[in-house]
Structures are given as C-alpha cells and as structure tokens.
A and B are shown apart, each in its own frame.
Chain A
Amino acid sequence: MLAESLVTDVILAALSTGGDFAEIFMEDTRRTNIRMLNGSVEEGVSGRDYGVGIRIFQGFRSVYAYTNDTNRENLLKVALEAAAALSGGPQLTNIVLQRLVVDRFNPVRLEPQDVPHSDKVGIMKRANLAAAGYDKQITQVAITYLDTDQHVLIANSEGLLVQDRRIRTRLGINAVASKGNEKQSAFRGPGRHMGFELFEHIDVEEIAKDAARSAVTMVNADYAPSGKYPVIIDNEFGGVIFHEACGHGLEATSVAKGASVFSGKLGQQVANSLVTAVDDGTIPNAWGSQNIDDEGTKTRRNVLIENGILKGYMIDKLNGRRMEMEPTGSSRRQSYKFAPTSRMTNTFICAGQSTKEEIISNTEYALFAKHMGGGSVNPATGEFNFAVAEGYIVRNGKIEKPVRGGTLIGQGSQILQKIDMVASNLASGQGMCGSRSGSIPTDVGQPTIRVSEITVGGRKGAN
C-alpha cells in the first residue's frame, strides 16, 4: 500500500487546479476462480487486480482517473492530468491525514489464500455429485468456485486515511435438465463476506439438489399463461423484485438528478402500508456487507420505506452534495477502475404477519414465482422486467402445477402499492448487481409476498 507522504502529495496535486475535494482509492486484490463441468475441473485462474483511482470534485463536477502504475512519478502525473479538467477556485495547500481504524464486524477465520486448491475442488465435487445424482434428466452440471481478498486504502482531502480488507467466497451451481430437445437450467449461488468457513455454514448438497430439482421441474413444465393476474413471489431471491423495481430508484445516482420516480417523495406514501424495506450493509458476514463503503464511510442500516412511507435514500458523497444530504455509507464500486456511486448492499423487505401457507390458501388464482431469475429496470420510468426461473400456478388456494418461461413486467412504484400480503419468512439470496460503478456483490431478500396484479408475459396465450 502507498506511503502516507505519497498519498498526501497526490491529493495535493489533484487539488492544484482548484478542486475542493480529492480522494485516492487503492486496491490490491487476489482472486481465485475455478470452473468445473460435469465433475471435471476445466479451468483455474488466479489473479491480482492492482491499481489506484483518483477522484476530484469541484462543486458538482467530478473527475476520475485510474492507473495501475503506482510509482510516485506516474501517480503525480495522473493526478495533475485529472486536475487539468478543472480550473479556478482557491487552492488547498495542506492536509493532515488521520488514520482511522476500521471496526471489523465481518470476521474471517479461514483466509482463502491459505486454503489449498484441492480443498476448493473437493467442495465443488460434492456439489457436482449431489446435483448430477438427483435425477437422470440432469444432463449437465457446471460448478464455479470463487474467492476474492480485496485490500483497500482510501484517503481524502478531508484528512481521512483508512484501510480495509474484504474477503468473499462464493459457490455457483448450474444444473441443466433435458427432455428430448428441450433444456432448462437452474442456478444457485450461495456466497458470504467470509472465507472458506462459508462451507461450514451452508449445506452444499442440499443447495445443489435444489438446483437440480428446479431444473427437472421446469423441463417437465408447461409454459406460463400470459395476462394480468396476481403473483405470489417467494422469499430469498424473490427480493430481486424490490432490488430492481424500487431499490435502483432509491439510489442517489438517479434521485439527485430527478431521474427517479421516487425523487422528491420523502415522507410520502409510496407503498402499501404492509411494506417496510431496508438496505443494511452492517449484517455480519452477509454477501453485500462491508465495514466501510468505497468512500471510507462506515456502512449503516438505512430504512428506505417504513410502513409504506418513503423514509430515505442511499446516498454517496457527490450526490449528497447535489441533494444537500449526508452520505449513508452506500457508495460502492467494482474496483479502482470505477468512480464510486450510491449502490445497494443487503436490501430486503422486512418480515410481515402472514405465513406463506396463508398467502397461498387465500389465493384463488395466481402465478407463484418460487424462484426468480434476474431482471432490469429503467430508473427514469420505473419500468422493470423479471424472469421467473421456477413458477407454479396456484388455483383455489393450492399449488396446481409448475409453469416455465414467465416474465413479470410493470412499474416499480405501482407494484409497491399492490403488495397486499407479506409473510414472516424473511430470507436472502446472493447476486451480482451491475450498474454505473460496475458489478458488485449484493444480497436481495424478502419474505413471501403477494402482489394483487402484475402483467405476466409468456409463450402461452391468455388463460
């Protein structure tokens, strides 16, 4: 990591043309990535990501530069080049860095760099066996293993100097089921902000079997009927609906510019009163947790919506200036190659009063989305779409039959109003969220919920 005196000199160089804030983000990251197909290891990659990002503000203007040549001469050159994009304003000539010690609430016991590759492959083999052996319709199983160990140093002209280390481990299981010419796949990807002890916390075999079960169920399923009707979305990864349809619209990135349907609506009713939603970066060892965000601000538990009322946004430093609001520990980036911005950490709808069984038994007709695929949203209009990875038709209070190929489309703010039942079985799933500052690990979560009406697209005509 860089010496304090060099950090100071680079920040001062960055401020030499009148910038009013400068920041250095340095990282040195080790990664392991192993890929297995049908029980046989096909690929292993070890990597080292290394570089420095320099960011300068002048009012609402922001300049970013990055490089992986970190010798003194080059860093000063890059800082001056970035500064050349700004002009005017008084020049800061002195800063005093104060080293901040991070309160680490994401303890790691087994550092992945110390675990031999053979142990990692051993876990992958267990997952492969469990999935492949589940049913003879399973024709392919792909397993991925990855770990990252990110060392960061963040310093800025306000005097902050802080270092942190983020260790994450994840297993990916993709099971493909075949029937004749048809194939369906199902993915599960358990991960945590922890080391190799992850595998003491999760049941690899159960998760692998669940992926296989889902793929087999779907290859034997009929297509989902299209139309507008109620949808029950199960817990865990079902939370992706809130993440996409509402979470992105609550990021300061879109709120500050008035680009979000939630802009200017603090204190207003934006959701059914059954809905309370939170973004919490402080859950120990959760996939999206961090001790500090990528601007060095401590992460927090941010209440976004409480009983349907909009309570807060996720805010980074730059957009905080625009909004005249304090940063919320939500600024994140994929790596030094990205300027950070407001992003989600672990985002979920809080537990309600109903049970999942009550929701199903009280529903005459609905699509039950047991497992969601990914989705995306246009933050300006709030329009979203999601793939239903594993769906069922609910009829007369009972799950009738599996259906595949459904897509949910709609508008985030309308869906929030239409959530009419919320169960108590809150759970989370892991994902990678791609947006302006790159691809970052995030948890999505919710209890089972019912939405009174969503447009469901599918290959089969209306029911």
Chain B
Amino acid sequence: MEIQEFKDRVFAAGQAAGLEDMEIYVSKSKTFSTCVFHKEVDDYTVSVEQGVGFRARFSGKVGYAYVEILDQDSVDLLISGAKANAQIIESDDEIEFFEGSPRYPEVIAYNRSLEAISAEEKIEFAKALESEAFATDERVSMVNYAVTGYSETEVYMANTKGLEQSFERNGAVSFVSAVVREGEQIKTGMRMMFGNNWGEFDAERLAQDAVREATSLLGAKSVPSGNYPVLLRHDVARDLLSTFASVFSAEAVQKGLSLLEGRLGQQIASPRLTLVDDPLLKNGGASASFDGEGVATRTKKVIEAGQLTTFLHNLKTAKKDGMESTGNASRPSFKSPVGISPTNFFIEPGTLTYDELVTKMGDGIIIIDVQGLHSGANPVSGDFSLGAYGYLVENGQIVGPVEQITVAGNFFEVLETVEEIGSDLEFGSPGSRGHVGSPTLLIRHLSIAGM
C-alpha cells in the first residue's frame, strides 16, 4: 500500500474508532555501508526501509503506535494500539497537535551529487583507507575497520489539524581504525568523517591521522594521581557535550532532572563560552526545516558569553513555561514519542589553534579519548569519571603518551572553568541526540587518577 492511501485509511479508521486528533510521522530511508578487510569487501549492506509513527488523542490523552509494513493489520494495530495507550495515560500534560507554522525556513541538507556516488567508488574509498593506513607506518598490524557509508532520509508529517510537511537529508560517513603493534604493545587509532560533500572526503588524510594517533600512543604510561590542567581535544569535548546535552532540555528542567533549573539569565559558564543550536546549518547532519511536531525551526544561542539564555523546548514544555516552542521537538525515530533534542549543537570556536593551546597550557594533560560515557557519566548530577588516554605536556611541549588513567569531574564545573577555546571546531556523526560539535577546550583542572 502506498503511504497516501495508508494515511487515508488510518485517519478514516481512527475517526470511526472515536480518535480525536491524529498524526503520522513517516520516515523513509536508503542506506549503504561497506567495510573492507585485507583488500576484500568484508561487509556490504544495503537497505530500503520505511516506518510510520502514529499518535492520536482519545478522551483527551495521547497514545502512540508504530508499524513498519503498510497493510490492513497495521492499520488495525495503529488504531487499537494508540487507543489502548491513550487510555492508560495519567499525566496531565497538555499535548498539542500543531496546525503548522506560517512560514518554514529554507534548509539545504540534501546533496544530489552525493547520491550519485556509485557503490564501486565507495568501496574504492574504503580500500584506499586500508591501504593508506598500511602505507603510513610499518608497525600497522591491522586495519580493523575501513568503512564507508551513505544514508538518505525523507521525513513526511501529516495530521488531522491540516499540517503536511516534508524534508530530505543525506550524508556520507567514513571511518578507519588502525591497530599498531610494537613488541608486546598494541595501540589503536581511529578517525571518522561525516559530511555530504564527497569531494571533502580524503582517505589518505583520515588513514594517516588514525595511524599517527595509534603510533603516538606507543610507550604510554600512567601518571601520578592529582589535579592537572587539561586540554579536552575537540572530539572529547564534543562527546562530553553530547552526553550532557539533556541538561539543556526544558523537559529535564521541568522534571527536576537538570541542575540548571532556575538558572536562566545567570552566568553558568566561562564568559568565553557560547553554545549554539543551529538547525539551519547548511548540510548539517541534523538540519531540518521543521521539528518533530511540525514546528518551524530556528537558530538560537543556548549559552551566550557564559550566560544561560534559553532551554530547548517543544510545544508541551513551552506551554508550561508560557513561551513559544524553540523548535526542538525530536522524534529520534518514527518509533519514538516526541521528546526534546538539540539539532546542530556546538560551542563557538575561539581563536587559538590546537598547538597554541598546548603551549598556553604549559603543564598538564591532553585527553584525546575517553571510554565509558554511557556508564561513567551522570547527566543528573553532572559527575563523570571516565577511562582516558592522551599526552603529558610539560613546558608547553608534548613529552609523551599517557594511558591507564581516569579523568573525573563535573560537567557544570567544566563549563565554568573553560580557560581557552580553540579554533578547531569539528562535528561528530549525527545521532538521535543531534549533531554535536566542539573546538578543543582548555580546562583549569580536572582530577586525574593514575598510579
């Protein structure tokens, strides 16, 4: 069954079943991914998929259901499922079905020339990642991942209030992970790139950077425990920001799950720090003209020169706070209920290069990777304690690699103690928590546990 026919059947069946407002959120995607190992295609995956998320109001409450196949059984399941789920809701939250914004922004997030890149070209790129990695250093014992992927997604929303909107987005991702061996020592280095301009993908650079990072870690030692000035490299700073992004969600604030409650307008971060949510970013991995409720998106500063200027809202939280939605309603997938998420979310870059930051720090530790973010970080308290590695810096020079340490601190304290911000803003790969980016940050000090 085609989606328009399916929608008509669902809305008609819903009306007959006494459902009040109804909305469908359809996502259609096409993906490709390949992994090369020992010059052969080791993994090759293609998909074409679609899913329909449905929500409906019954007796004033809203229930959800989703399906992945468009047949009559699915029509029945959407109606009966959403109705049953509406009937158990006890929360008094008022949920609005949106009739549409007067205007929607122009957003460019789909690049047709990227779609035209053939499977062979992508395979060749993955092969080049592997061969370049081996060519970079003879200590490379294995390239455990040399991957190229592509995905495109089309989102279509329609409801019984008259909303009907769609957008499309595409992007390619590539990553390479190299293993180097010297004697008994084994180290890994990884590089990843996301974007939708194929011309910017440089296999040689990605592979060389991954290998150089791995070899740079050979001979790593622990350091004595203590408080050290720390450089959080852009990718580590970004992962930390992504992990704690929920503290800026109005939903978390209203539920008492964010320590930023009551701090709007206050100085919560170093005056150097500005945090932006920009859904209109050209070719951003989370760029979109409307959010998960159909509200037109817009760019805003969440922290401006250290001052907390807004939380991220959807219609429900905005209504509670007596304000307009910030266009941050999220549907991480068609299966998920409406939540809140940042879009393209990043710390504005400063002026110092990475090398200048190292000099400026003088003595301290550069953290280039952390492990355990999903378990060792508590978004409610802001506390984190993570396995880490990187380099020891003395007198403004990197003197050697560091491993077997943990870095511990508190996200809110990190925001306050940012001393310098690098010019090297980089984004990660987009996910359900938005597309997050950061430059390298110099932090006054963090607790390092080592020897």
A residues in contact (CB < 8 Å) with B? 30, 34, 37, 39-51, 60-70, 78, 81-82, 85, 117-118, 121, 139-140, 176, 181-185, 226-228, 257-259, 261, 337, 339, 373-376, 378, 380-381, 383-387, 405-407, 409-410, 455-462
Contacts and interface: CB of A to CB of B under 8 A. Distances in A.
A405 B67 contact: no
Contacts of B82: 46
A40 B375 contact: no
A65 B372 CA distance: 32
A139 B259 CA distance: 14
Nearest to A68: B68
Contacts of B378: 183-185
A81 B417 CA distance: 54
B225 A48 contact: no
Contacts of B41: 61, 63, 85
Contacts of B387: 383-385, 407, 409, 457
Interface in B21-55: 37, 40-51
Contacts of A48: 66-69, 73-74, 77
Contacts of B84: 44, 46, 117
B88 A45 contact: no
A267 B344 CA distance: 51
7 smallest CB-CB distances across A and B, nearest first, come from A457-B406, A46-B81, A44-B85, A226-B449, A374-B375, A385-B387, A385-B372
A259 B49 contact: no
B87 A37 contact: no
B405 A259 contact: no
B179 A380 contact: yes
Contacts of A78: 46, 48
A387 B372 contact: yes
Contacts of B74: 48
Given A257-B144, A459-B385, A339 B47 contact: no
Contacts of B148: none
Residue from A46, A51, A68, A70 whose CB has the most chain B CB atoms within 10 Å: A46
Contacts, number: 234
A51 B409 CA distance: 44
A44 B386 contact: no
Contacts of B407: 457
B404 interface: yes
Given A41-B88, A381-B186, A62 B64 contact: no
A43 B337 contact: yes
Contacts of B409: 459
B386 A407 contact: yes
Contact of A184 (B88, B337, B381): B381
A148 to B, nearest CB: 12
B193 interface: no
26 contacts: A34-B85, A43-B89, A44-B63, A45-B337, A46-B80, A47-B65, A60-B42, A63-B41, A65-B45, A81-B46, A140-B257, A183-B380, A185-B380, A376-B375, A380-B188, A381-B186, A381-B187, A385-B386, A386-B372, A386-B375, A387-B385, A409-B371, A409-B404, A455-B450, A457-B387, A457-B449
Contacts of B65: 45-47
A41 B67 contact: no
A118 B44 contact: no
Contacts of B226: 461
Contact of A227 (B51, B225, B383, B408): B225
Contacts of A228: 451
Residue from B66, B69, B88, B374 whose CB has the most chain A CB atoms within 10 Å: B88
Residue from B69, B335, B385, B404 whose CB has the most chain A CB atoms within 10 Å: B385
A41 B406 CA distance: 39
B447 A459 contact: yes
A45 B78 CA distance: 10
Contact of B449 (A37, A227, A373): A227
Given A50-B67, A337-B47, A409 B406 contact: yes
Given A68-B68, A185-B378, A459-B447, 12 more contacts: A37-B91, A41-B89, A44-B84, A46-B64, A61-B42, A66-B47, A69-B48, A70-B69, A337-B49, A376-B375, A380-B142, A385-B386
A407 B385 contact: yes
Contacts of A61: 40-42, 44
Contacts of B182: none
B85 A457 contact: no
Contacts of A46: 63-66, 77, 80-82, 84-85
A65 B186 CA distance: 34
B376 interface: yes
Interface in B94-125: 119
Contacts of A44: 63-64, 84-86, 88-89
B376 A49 contact: no
A49 B69 CA distance: 8
Contacts of A62: 42-44
B90 interface: yes
Nearest to A410: B404
B17 to A, nearest CB: 14
Contact of B335 (A45, A118, A181, A226): A45
A34 B74 CA distance: 20
A44 B82 CA distance: 8
Contacts of A65: 45-47
B68 A45 contact: no
Given A48-B69, A65-B46, A259-B142, A405 B383 contact: yes
A176 B47 contact: no
B88 A117 contact: yes
A227 B45 CA distance: 45
Contacts of A40: 90-91
B256 A140 contact: yes
B376 A373 contact: yes
Contacts of B179: 259, 380
B85 A376 contact: no
Nearest to B77: A48
A64 B43 contact: yes
Interface in B180-196: 186-188
Interface in B390-444: 403-409
Residue from B41, B144, B222, B449 whose CB has the most chain A CB atoms within 10 Å: B449
Nearest to B43: A62
B375 A387 contact: yes
B91 A41 contact: yes
B93 interface: yes
A67 B450 CA distance: 49
A380 B186 contact: yes
A42 B89 contact: yes
A457 to B, nearest CB: 2
A182 B449 contact: no
Nearest to A51: B68
Residue from A39, A65, A261 whose CB has the most chain B CB atoms within 10 Å: A65
Nearest to A335: B68
A363 to B, nearest CB: 21
Nearest to B123: A85
B142 A374 contact: no
A63 B375 contact: no
B321 to A, nearest CB: 18
Residue from B45, B87, B257 whose CB has the most chain A CB atoms within 10 Å: B45
A385 B372 CA distance: 6
A410 B188 CA distance: 16
Nearest to A35: B337
A455 B406 contact: yes
